[in-house]
């Protein structure tokens, strides 16, 4: 005789009820897990589809806290020489929009014990546990969150740590050292691939828009930016100005100090021009010994004032070259402004602005060099 044979109908009903409750709980759990999985699959698709750095980090900060029910998500990226930060800034990324994006100079600052690592050491694992305001201040610099538990998850590419994904919860039981980490490791590996991908794409974009000799923008960048700025200036009714800067007698410089010495002078002049500009202004090398500057929200008077400062800055002191050679360099500058009331095609306005500055430059050269000339219609 089994136990059930002796069970009363009441006991059987109670057991039945208990089984039903357990079943309902399990179905509920399964549905919840399915829903989490579906949300994560959608998140994976969203981040894999991100085509730019701001789009990717924007997705991570916007979607991950919601789908994973987290109270804080931050991202620490290793950026040894601040290259990533510099390039993204030059490409126009507004870091103020991403307060949870953190840059660290090295792996030591990432907040998890790497131990004495060697080439063959296995990659670091996520560190889960109680939130400690002192220990986690770097990963969670915004103090108002009242976090209780955190997960510091390494972002790995080819076993190399490129940063960490930092997850925080107000629930003390959310991240405990005994919790399995397969799921968050999987998520971090997708995020790491996406990050590496968009960062290298942005780097390529940047290389295509900059002059490799001087590090300033190139003609392609200015041609594109000029069209955008003309449209914006017309919408917001302000003036933009354009400057053509040409180093005087540069052929003689090359003849005297050789092409390499000439290159050194180009780099130094680019630095001297840049020192006189605002962050919103764009400096480019148009080729050879010609530079251009696009000044936003500056009329002809202000542009001529800046141009005069640049002229003086170039001529201010001798340029020292390796080997002790000292050169005195001057530049001629033509300045023109765009009438904000124009409404023709932006392409035509851009060409006209460039050619007016070029015309003024020609007058600066023929008028004796080392001077600034403003374009004035005949
Ligand atoms: N070192 C170096 N020289 C360059 C580069 N690109 C062009 N040049 C040189 O720049 C010189 C430009 O000379 P020109 O256009 O005759 O003008 P200039 O001697 O500067 O005389 P003005 O403009 O009339 O004052 C040439 O000797 C070019 O070879 C470069 O990338 N590096």
One-character DSSP codes across 212-242: TTTSSB-HHHHHHHHHHHHHHHHHHT--EEE
Q: Is the per-residue pLDDT at 323 higher than 90? A: no
CA-nearest residue, atom 5 of ligand 1: 288
Q: Domain 49-208, what fold?
A: Beta-Lactamase (3.30.450)
Q: Whole-angstrom Cα distance, residue 193 to residue 185?
A: 12
Distance (angstroms) between ligand 1 centre and the Cα of 286 equals 12
Which of 288, 364, 373 to probe ligand 1 with, by most ligand atoms within 8 A of CB?
Answer: 288
Helix (H, G, I), strand (E, B) or coil at 248: coil
Distance between CA atoms of 22 and 84, rounded to whole angstroms?
52
Q: Name the band, by pLDDT with cuts 50, 70 and 90, for residue 6.
A: low
Distance CA 145, CA 305 (A): 49
Ligand 1 mutation pick, 252, 265, 289, 319, max ligand atoms within 8 A of CB = 289
CA-nearest residue, atom 27 of ligand 1 = 251
pTM of the model: 0.69
CB 248 near ligand 1, within 6 Å: yes
Determine the average pLDDT of the residues in 152-180: 93
> What percent of the chain stands above pLDDT 90?
75
pLDDT of res. 118: 55
29, pLDDT greater than 60 = yes
Please tell me the residue having the least CA distance from ligand 1 atom 6.
288
Q: Is the CB of 159 under 6 A from ligand 1?
A: no
| Residue 212, number of CB atoms within 10 A of its CB | 8
Q: Where are the domains of the chain?
A: 49-208, 212-374
Q: What is the pLDDT of residue 1?
A: 45
How far is the C-alpha of 288 from the C-alpha of 285, rounded, in Å? 8
Predicted local distance difference test score (pLDDT) of residue 159: 83
Rounded Cα distance, 249 and 255, in Å = 10
Is the domain 212-374 a CATH 3.30.70.270 member?
Answer: yes
| Cβ of residue 288 lying under 6 Å from some atom of ligand 1 | yes
pLDDT at 91: 86
Q: Tokens representing 364?
A: 């600066």
DSSP 323: T
Find residue 217's DSSP bridge partners.
210, 284
Taking CA atoms only, the protein residue closest to ligand 1 atom 4 is: 288
Closest to 352 in 3D by CA, of 240, 198, 199: 240
Positions annotated as catalytic residues are 289
Measured from the CB, is residue 290 less than 6 Å from ligand 1? no
Mean pLDDT confidence for 267-291: 94
Cα dihedral value 201, 203, 209, 211, nearest 10: -150
The DSSP result for 253-274, as a single string, is: HHHHHHHHHHHHHHHHHHHHHH
Alpha helices, H only, 49-114: 53-67, 83-90
């Amino acid at each position: 005789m089994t136990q059930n044979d002796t069970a009363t109908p009441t006991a059987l009903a109670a057991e039945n009820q208990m089984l039903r409750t357990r079943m309902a709980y399990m179905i509920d759990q399964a549905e919840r897990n399915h829903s989490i999985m579906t949300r994560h699959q959608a998140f994976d698709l969203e981040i894999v589809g991100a085509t730019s750095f701001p789009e990717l980090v924007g997705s991570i900060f916007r979607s991950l806290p919601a789908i994973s029910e987290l109270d804080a998500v931050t991202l620490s990226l290793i950026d040894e020489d601040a290259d990533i930060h510099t390039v993204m800034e030059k490409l126009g990324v507004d870091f103020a929009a991403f307060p949870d994006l953190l840059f660290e100079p090295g792996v030591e600052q990432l907040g998890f014990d790497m131990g004495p690592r060697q080439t063959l050491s296995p990659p670091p694992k996520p560190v889960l546990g109680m939130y400690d305001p002192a220990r986690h201040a770097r990963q969670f610099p915004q103090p108002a969150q009242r976090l209780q538990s955190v997960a510091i998850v390494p972002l790995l590419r080819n076993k190399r740590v490129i940063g960490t994904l930092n997850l925080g919860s107000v629930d003390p039981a959310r991240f405990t050292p005994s919790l399995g980490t397969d799921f968050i490791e999987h998520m971090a590996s997708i995020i790491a691939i996406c990050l590496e991908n968009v960062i290298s794409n942005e780097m390529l974009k940047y290389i295509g828009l900059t002059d490799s000799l001087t590090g300033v923008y190139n003609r392609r960048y200015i041609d594109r930016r000029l069209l955008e700025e003309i449209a914006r200036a017309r919408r917001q009714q302000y003036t933009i100005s354009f400057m053509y800067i040409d180093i005087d007698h540069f052929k003689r410089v090359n003849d005297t100090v050789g092409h390499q010495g000439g290159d050194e002078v180009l780099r130094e002049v680019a630095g001297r021009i840049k020192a006189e500009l605002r962050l919103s202004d764009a400096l480019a090398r148009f080729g050879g010994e010609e530079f251009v500057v696009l000044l936003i929200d500056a009329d002809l008077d202000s542009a001529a004032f800046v141009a005069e400062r640049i002229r003086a800055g170039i001529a201010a002191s001798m340029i020292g070259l390796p080997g002790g050679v000292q050169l005195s360099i001057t530049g001629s500058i033509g300045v023109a402004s765009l009438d904000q009331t124009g409404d023709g095609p932006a392409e035509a306005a851009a060409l006209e602005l460039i050619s007016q500055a070029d015309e003024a430059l020609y007058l600066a050269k023929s008028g004796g060099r080392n001077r600034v000339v403003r374009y004035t219609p005949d």
